[in-house]
Chain A
Amino acid sequence: AQTVTQSQPEMSVQEAETVTLSCTYDTSESDYYLFWYKQPPSRQMILVIRQEAYKQQNATENRFSVNFQKAAKSFSLKISDSQLGDAAMYFCAYRGTSYGKLTFGQGTILTVHP
């Protein structure tokens, strides 16, 4: 079974600074997808960024980028120029290619200080 581990229960960053959230996973599959989701207090889960395992190039979405290390099974999220609106719970998630089931990590609470 696949597992996803987020070892940082909480992180904090100053506004306009950069922060990196860590995620490791375990799988025996060679092809899969990885995601970072943001969950604000409203509980609405919002997709931040996705990475296909077969792509060597790291995904980037505006201020959000990932460092995908397939051999190390590591998938970190870098948030540049942090904004107050980035404050939320962030979840790393894994999905195989056969079914749509997402396996989530435990989450990291991100606090952004003005």
Chain B
Amino acid sequence: EAGVAQSPRYKIIEKRQSVAFWCNPISGHATLYWYQQILGQGPKLLIQFQNNGVVDDSQLPKDRFSAERLKGVDSTLKIQPAKLEDSAVYLCASSFRQGGDEQFFGPGTRLTVL
């Protein structure tokens, strides 16, 4: 079974530029999560999708971050414009359901904002 795929693995941009990350969850997984992991900290949930609907985006900085999961499969997370404090690893995870199921994580995208 293929795991959660993410791309790119690394991205370096200047502040005020825009960037997009892509995630393809495990086939059949209805729930998709985006986490932000700042260096030296634990991951923090940015947004959770159930199929193509948003379940929780309470910690998403909506003035600059956006995410979509149009067909309930893969998802894109965008930052526009980026700030220095957005430098982090962005982890995507998926689970079969949103309740008691294990979350499987992708390898993450390391973003550096200069």
Contacts and interface: CB of A to CB of B under 8 A. Distances in A.
Interface of A: 4, 33, 42-47, 50, 91, 93, 97-107
A101 B42 CA distance: 13
Given A44-B105, A47-B102, A100 B33 contact: yes
Interface of B: 31, 33, 35, 40-45, 48, 55-56, 89, 91, 93, 95, 97-103, 105-108, 110
Contacts of B89: 43
Contacts, number: 60
Main secondary structure of the interface of A (DSSP, over half): loop
Nearest to A6: B42
Given A43-B110, A104-B43, A99 B105 contact: no
A99 B102 CA distance: 12
A99 B42 contact: no
